[in-house]
Amino acid sequence: MLHLLPLSTLLLLPQILASPLSPHAESKPLPLLIWHGLGDNYAADGLRSVGDLANETNPGTYVYYIRIDEDAASDRTATFLGNVTEQIAQVCADIANHEILSKAPGLNALGFSQGGQFLRGVVERCGDTVKIRNLVTFGSQHNGISRYQICKEGDWLCRSYVGLLKANTWGSWVQGHLVPAQYFKATNDSTGEPTDDYLDASNFLADINNERGVKNATYAEHMARLDNLVMYVFAEDTTVIPKESGWFAYTNATSGEVTGLRNRTIYTEDWIGLKKLDEKGGLHFKTTEGGHMQLGDKVLTDVFRTYFAPSKASWRDAGAVEQEVIEL
């Protein structure tokens, strides 16, 4: 049966089609969040060049460089010294109150090294107020690290913190103040199960991976809402140990045997929504050449075109168009 539109709606079709919300109008890229890694800061030239490349690839991209402090030196210190749970809460509040980010229909996000799992923390803990649609991580520690081999050569500030980390990883002060300790993971090599010390004391990772007995169902709901989670591992990474952590894999420290995510309980019981995300085609495992954070423009440009292009995710979304027509 043919259904005719009301005359009032037909008269307004030209305005609807010309509206920026119309599917025929030019799309505007979603804003892009970038969270840097350990020892870096939000104002660093290298990070800004990534934002410039994002804008060059998808013109009109608003780039927001996540920071814990407006002072660049203090922001760098916060990558070593701070409570990750509090930092994520601060970042969620900053985004939710931001004039541009808070009004966008969604956000894209790019996380470098530890910034990747911290952005995942934003998705899981703040998914109702910070609506990330696509998250791409490079060399992140999603399943934690088993060794503190995290410092760049000559970075004595980092090395001084590592000395404290090794002395008392599970102490309450260390877990509340030293950032890398909060994604350190200890496991029993014979079983692959996390140790009681880790489950009892971990300030960040054990919670965000829903590894404790009581699960937070909201974390899984929020992760499953993503359009895409894209996880890059650096083929020659010797900084993140084990490097397969970037794919949520478990690596036996004794035998070197790797158990992929799809064979782990976190996936089969869908503790954080990765299985549901995978079933809809939104979970992607990628490898790029080089050592930790040796990243070229070619790979980044491909990410921007494949996952952040306006045709994939833009200000013009179906819900907005539908709302515009309904209000007529």
- When divided into structural domains, the chain yields a total of 1
Q: What's the domain range around 281?
A: 29-152+217-327
What CATH number has the domain bearing residue 76? 3.40.50.1820
In angstroms, the CA 317 to CA 60 distance is 17
Q: Is there a domain that residue 90 lies in?
A: yes
Q: Is there a domain that residue 236 lies in?
A: yes
Q: Is there a domain that residue 147 lies in?
A: yes
Q: With contact defined as beta carbons under 8 Å apart, do 266 and 209 qualify? A: yes
Q: Is there a domain that residue 117 lies in?
A: yes
Q: With contact defined as beta carbons under 8 Å apart, do 82 and 177 qualify? A: yes
Quick check: helix, strand or coil at residue 181? Answer: helix
Q: With contact defined as beta carbons under 8 Å apart, do 264 and 272 qualify? A: no
pTM of the model: 0.86
- DSSP letters spanning 72-116: HHHHHHTTTBS-HHHHHHHHHHHHHT-TTGGGSS-EEEEEETHHH
| Vertex 206 angle, CA 244 and 250, to 5° | 25
Per-residue pLDDT of the chain (328 residues; tens, 9 = 90+): 445 555 554 454 455 444 444 444 468 999 999 999 999 999 999 999 999 999 999 999 999 999 999 999 999 999 999 999 999 999 999 999 999 999 999 999 999 999 999 999 999 999 999 999 999 999 999 999 988 766 666 777 677 766 767 668 999 999 999 999 999 999 987 777 899 999 999 999 999 999 999 999 999 999 999 999 999 999 999 999 999 999 999 999 888 899 999 999 999 999 999 999 999 999 999 999 999 999 999 999 999 999 999 976 677 654 443 333 323 2
* Cβ-based neighbours of 216, under 8 Å, separated by 6 or more: 124, 207, 210
Q: Is there a domain that residue 2 lies in?
A: no
Q: Is there a domain that residue 274 lies in?
A: yes
In angstroms, the CA 310 to CA 295 distance is 24
What is the Cα gyration radius of the chain? Answer: 21
For residue 268, give the amino acid letter.
T
Per DSSP bridges, beta strands 228-234 and 132-138 are parallel
* Cβ-based neighbours of 2, under 8 Å, separated by 6 or more: none
What pLDDT sits at residue 189? 78
Cis-peptide, bond into residue 242, ω within 30° of zero: yes
Strand order in the sheet with 32-35: 63-65, 32-35, 107-112, 132-138, 228-234, 283-288
Torsion angles phi and psi, residue 111, rounded to 5: -115, 130
In angstroms, the CA 105 to CA 133 distance is 9
Q: Is there a domain that residue 221 lies in?
A: yes
Residues acting as catalytic residues: 113, 237, 292
Q: Is there a domain that residue 59 lies in?
A: yes
